[in-house]
Amino acid sequence: MTERSTLRRLPARGSRELEVIYAILDAAFVAHVGFAVDGQPYVIPTLFGRAGDKLYLHGSAASRMMRTLQSGAPVCVTVTLVDGLVLARSAFHHSMNYRSAVLFGTARAIDDPALKTEALQVISEHLIAGRWDEVRAPNSLELKATTVLELTIEEASAKTRVGPPMDDEQDYALPVWAGVLPLSLKAGAPQPDVRLAEGIAAPDYIKHYRG
């Protein structure tokens, strides 16, 4: 580990345990990928999948992000899950309960069609397990139009906040409600496509989806 992954603000909330970092990644859908082109920084939200210490990203072969990352440019990936709003008695001490991870590494393009397809399966199964086995797999033209990157996690750290607000002692007597408003991402009822063939029911992995 180096200085780039060292937590300086509230380090007691941090962790470098891989189990903690992987759990945050596995619970998230969207990663924000940071990189620079000619000194201009960009941060792009994207879907991802994880297998071991590898992250898999995909996008159009014409994508600036894909072209930049496969050249070996340094990359920073962040993931954040918001679990609740922490409402304090003072404006200053309002906060959020959250789980976050920051990753550093370099990416390489996967060119072999079989390995490329396996990586896309990792991303698909991360989003909704069981879907890949039912749908049509990517054909050769689709694979050619898609860049798939494998990012080895070289360094990473996690940071979390849990619990109630932490007010100044003199503020606990204020007549203001304080506490935590929990937040969560919840799946709704499946909405069938208007062109769905008659008699096709939503499979159990959709009807009982829990993320």
Instruction: Report, as ranges of residue numbers, the positions in the chain whose pLDDT lies below 50.
Output: none
Helix/strand/coil (H, E, C) string of 192-207?
CCCCCCCCCCCCHHHH
Structure tokens at 96: 């959020």
> 3-167+177-207: which CATH number, 3.40.50.360, 3.40.50.150, 3.20.20.70, 2.30.110.10?
2.30.110.10
Per-residue CA distances from 24 to 53, 81, 101, 113 (Å)? 13, 8, 7, 29
Radius of gyration of the chain (CA): 21
Q: What stretches of the chain show up as alpha helix (H) in DSSP?
A: 18-27, 64-70, 113-127, 140-144, 204-207
Over residues 15-39, the pLDDT tens digits come to 889 999 999 999 999 999 999 999 9
Question: Structure pTM?
Answer: 0.90
Query: What is the DSSP-derived secondary structure letter of residue 137?
Result: P
Q: Where are the beta strands (DSSP E) in the chain?
A: 14-15, 30-37, 40-47, 49-51, 54-60, 75-87, 95-109, 146-161, 179-182
Over residues 34-64, the pLDDT tens digits come to 999 999 999 999 999 999 999 999 999 999 9
